[in-house]
Amino acid sequence: MPTAVTQHEQTLHFLKPAKPSENSAEALSRQSIEALFNLPFSDLMFKAQQVHREHFNPNEVQLSTLLSIKTGGCPEDCGYCPQSVHYNTGVEASKLLDVEEVKAAALEAQKNGASRFCMGAAWREPKDRDVEKVAELVRTVKSLGMEACCTLGMLTESQAGTLKQAGLDYYNHNLDTTPELYGDIITTRDYQERLDTLAHVRSAGMHVCSGGIVGMGESRAQRAGLVHQLANLTPYPESVPINNLVQVEGTPLHGTESLDLLEFVRTVAVARITMPKARVRLSAGRQQMGEAIQALCFMAGANSIFYGDKLLTTGNPDWQKDQALLGKLGISTT
């Protein structure tokens, strides 16, 4: 009978990441992804580092800034979101920012080193007139020489085409969680509607930014289910934000037992192994992690962060702290 170490080595050998062209439902089974999650921590980190170094400079992190261009008043009932009209969280609804406000924010982000500027609006699905206004904002950001990303909710094919014509590089639409848990978190749209929006984004020729939120009461097997869904999109997303739930008083998920942060690191590592060419981004929840956990996440293959004071409506480490941490770790930015 093989020893435990040999079994782990066999698992590591078996779970070689699929090439993008092989990225189908058969390429990575949910069982194989669960096996990755269950590896001893050091084995998992070693494999993630190997994969990361095959495709990226391990000492480089891409910077993005996220601006809320339309805050609050969302009709969705996402259990984690303080912008929902269903919950009393103190977030007030606002109108869409104008071109000059967005341009000023993008210039500030660019001055501080961001190469990608992301704009988020609290809509379930924008109206065509809303998309036309956002397209103008996209053109403004692109005129500064930055990559542009938007997250606006569900899109139709024609709306995705309008944004592509304006020059939008990435569209963010997270799957949030595993399919079997989804209905416990959100009831105002179904999983297939999320997949449909991603299909419209792909059809328009834009890059996909799609990830999820962990720490919403899911099991390790359910986290594996989320990664399984993402890794088997065809192709998998170019950008994969991994969020740790930021609990906001007034939302249904406030009071949920916090996720062990080493489980968060495991999620980053498994995302890196299964989506080897993606930018894996540390997103919401960094403020609560501390330097040691963030350092482990970079070792696990995270190579993108949001920087700035806020992520839409929740706190984020300030830029001075980020600079200090990256300097300690010898990580440069792009």
Annotated catalytic sites, by residue? 74, 78, 81, 118, 149, 209, 281
Residue 207 exposure: Cα atoms within 13 Å on the Cβ side? 17
The two tokens of residue 71 are 């805050």
State the DSSP string of 136-175. Answer: HHHHHHHTTT-EEEEE-S---HHHHHHHHHHT--EEE---
* Angle at the Cα of 43 from the Cα atoms of 39 and 49, rounded to 5 degrees: 120
- Output DSSP code: residue 74: B
CA 157, chain centre distance (Å): 22
* Cα Rg of the chain, angstroms: 19
DSSP string, 75-120: ----TT-TTBTTS-SSPPP-PPP-HHHHHHHHHHHHHTT-SEEEEE
Sign of CA dihedral 142, 243, 79, 158: positive
User: For residue 71, how many C-alpha atoms fall within 13 Å in the half-sphere facing its CB?
Assistant: 16
Long-range contacts of 261-266 (CB under 8 A, 24+ apart): 261/289, 261/293, 262/41, 262/293, 262/296, 263/214, 263/220, 263/223, 264/214, 264/215, 264/289, 264/293, 264/297, 265/45, 265/293, 265/296, 265/297, 265/300, 266/37, 266/41, 266/44, 266/220, 266/300
CA–CA separation, 232 and 28 (whole Å): 7
Contact 325, 296 (CB under 8 A): no
Task: Specify the amino acid at residue 266.
Answer: R
